[in-house]
Structure 1
């Protein structure tokens, strides 16, 4: 067949300018759940130009994320900021859940004592 090898489609010819402020990060033992969360959080940052991920094979828990940022803003910093923001959001969600759970538990305890259980 006359088609070039697939790997040649991804190799930049000599002299091609490299993309500035771009990084490719591999996440081992993770899947779409974390990939989509981080991607969505990165895209909320106005200084992130591009963020996407792909799962290379559905049988392996591993994904690759590409991040591109504006000049003067490192992709590593964008990723750290996104992860810290996600951890804060998850902690807030956990606290709200615990508060609601304790209110619901107190309400159930009040009902069971008033019925004489």
Structure 2
């Protein structure tokens, strides 16, 4: 004999909503404190096919080294550096070379894997 009663639905337990975990913003520039770390960071960024990733990494290194010092070394203005390294920008190759040279970074071409 079949029962005509519908199955009972489990009552939802009321749980106190947990507050979302608050994290401090991550700033890569705080960790770029020596030449080896900087070189590895930029090399990893170059492996990404998106050029914005490399520009963001260069911006992090520039911030770690100091934009004013970079402006003096590169011959670019502070505003030009910020503009060239901002998200979505398309700086000229000459600008990228001036910035990377001033940062003491050498871009070395090699055969793609």
TM class, shorter-length: under 0.3
Higher share of residues assigned strand: 1
TM-score with structure 2 setting the length: 0.25
TM-score with structure 1 setting the length: 0.25
Higher RCO (CA 8 Å, separation ≥ 6 residues): 1
